[in-house]
Chains A and B, each alone.
Chain A
């Protein structure tokens, strides 16, 4: 079931001299199976928005409905927060700072234990979650989180969230502070999680070149409002307004505009470096140049299938794929 937000407004320090409006009448729907990128400068309201999705901040005005669980400002009926938090998995910025237990397996099984699972069950769930994020539970399970490398720590922290099999996975700048290869690995992991565990993914990102390759939809926040929520191709026609919001258009879009000004029209549909490269190669082919088939930029040779609007355009397929594989072996 989708996420439906209607007329959501929120202010910090309400009723004090420091009152600051963070969200201003937000209405939007996020459907099952979408990969949504959320963008906006610091203070645009995007973090406040995602915190509403699993009840970390209480609704002041308007309404949020997640998988049928309704959140409003009314005190009663009390929403089922336990169910809500099992539905929406939240991975915060630098999630590795939140690892706290003395072994990885204890840390990852903390969630299910808290939800009432017995220790053995919870640890079995933790082992599956670790495998899913690409860590070997036999190798890292008994280690202290501090013994892991930076990238491993981040994976372990993500395992602690997906261990509850959330239908919706929300990640706040999941690649911040990682080297280029680490970034690629985390993005590929998110694609894998989308396919095998959490069919709806919402990612906050600042990197246009990156997010346009993975997301099927972008929502741009500005001054507490939804500034843009439209197909990417149309969005990037608003280059100047994006700039005013502190965002850039992707490199590929700027290049396509520059080429058009010089008489080379690559046509529509250019939203990222894959679609741009494919369009340029088509021009070369039309000129009779012997160019090879192009299947998307894959610098490290590890890119997972099913991301963004690539040359092979697997995005729609991925977006329609709601049947998450049963990696937990117990039916979803």
Chain B
């Protein structure tokens, strides 16, 4: 089933003084299947974040349409359904906390939905369990690491029971351990709960873990393919200001210097294998 469908979507921020309005998202058509894990990449200013905000009606398209499980985001009566279906997690964990005790913070969403107390408790329990933070329910978020805070931000969104999780550079401010924690949580949600994940990132290693990668450039979709196939395009990525992951960079440099190594290698095991094979040949 299609979770989110975009048809020829355009969006421009309001014109500022003498500068004409430019489409930040410019004619994007896209379908995201339920249960998919999609990475979105592109340089700063390529339209990724605007695209993310169009997915749950934070922004409404100027032209074209965005449909979330069959509901148009411009349908004012149903906007809360749309927002409940598509949860957003942003970059800075500190900006996403509303309460000084973890369980109160997680309960904020379901409380606003007007749910019964028992149901709220159930959801808080469930959400904290999903992100591995159950033992912290009575703690305060302010003394936690970035990775822990970001997992709480995810739990806060999960308590609304969304079907799609959109992460807008949610790993950008974290250290490697914090990033791994967040990636593990969203992969588990994707596999276990069949939650669709749309993950915007600048880290190519994270892109490799997705089923599908969308490359944005100038508000349009430049590439839409499996990660492996995207990185196999080599030098073409430069025009989107992208660089492949370290392993592919090394493989590319070896091939460039004449060594018999395929350029499209994306994992350490593949590169190790390719070097061994090539060196043992006569």
Contacts and interface: CB of A to CB of B under 8 A. Distances in A.
Interface in A173-195: 176-184
Interface in B220-277: 238, 241-244, 246-247, 249-250, 252-254, 256-260, 268, 271-272, 275-276
Interface string A287-301: 101111110010110
Contacts of B241: 179-182
B177 interface: yes
A181 to B, nearest CB: 4
A41 B172 CA distance: 14
B44 A42 contact: no
A300 B243 contact: yes
A291 B259 contact: yes
Interface in A198-247: 206, 209, 246-247
B154 to A, nearest CB: 17
B176 interface: yes
B72 interface: no
Interface in A285-332: 287, 289-294, 297, 299-300
B238 A299 contact: yes
B229 to A, nearest CB: 18
Contact of B268 (A182, A183, A255, A299): A255
Contact of A289 (B43, B259, B271): B259
A273 B250 contact: yes
B176 A255 contact: no
Contacts of B250: 251-252, 255, 273, 276-277, 297
Interface residues of B, number: 42
Interface string B175-192: 111100000000000000
Q: In terms of DSSP, what is the predominant structure of the interface of chain A? A: loop
Interface in B99-156: 145-147
Given A277-B254, A289-B259, A292-B257, A182 B276 contact: no
A280 B258 CA distance: 12
B245 to A, nearest CB: 8
Nearest to A207: B176
A247 B176 contact: yes
Contacts of B272: 255, 258-259, 262
Given A177-B172, A297-B249, A300-B238, A182 B259 contact: no
A252 to B, nearest CB: 7
Contacts of B176: 41, 206, 246-248
Contacts of A264: 275-276, 279
B175 A294 contact: no
Contacts of B204: 180
A274 to B, nearest CB: 8
B45 A284 contact: no
Contacts of B279: 264, 283-284, 287
Interface of A: 41-43, 93, 149-151, 176-184, 206, 209, 246-248, 250-252, 254-255, 258-259, 262, 264, 273, 276-277, 280-281, 283-284, 287, 289-294, 297, 299-300
24 contacts: A177-B44, A177-B202, A178-B202, A182-B241, A183-B202, A246-B175, A247-B176, A252-B246, A262-B272, A273-B246, A280-B275, A281-B259, A284-B258, A284-B259, A284-B279, A287-B279, A289-B259, A290-B258, A291-B259, A292-B257, A293-B257, A299-B238, A299-B249, A300-B238
Interface of B: 42-45, 91, 145-147, 169, 172-178, 202, 204, 238, 241-244, 246-247, 249-250, 252-254, 256-260, 268, 271-272, 275-276, 278-279
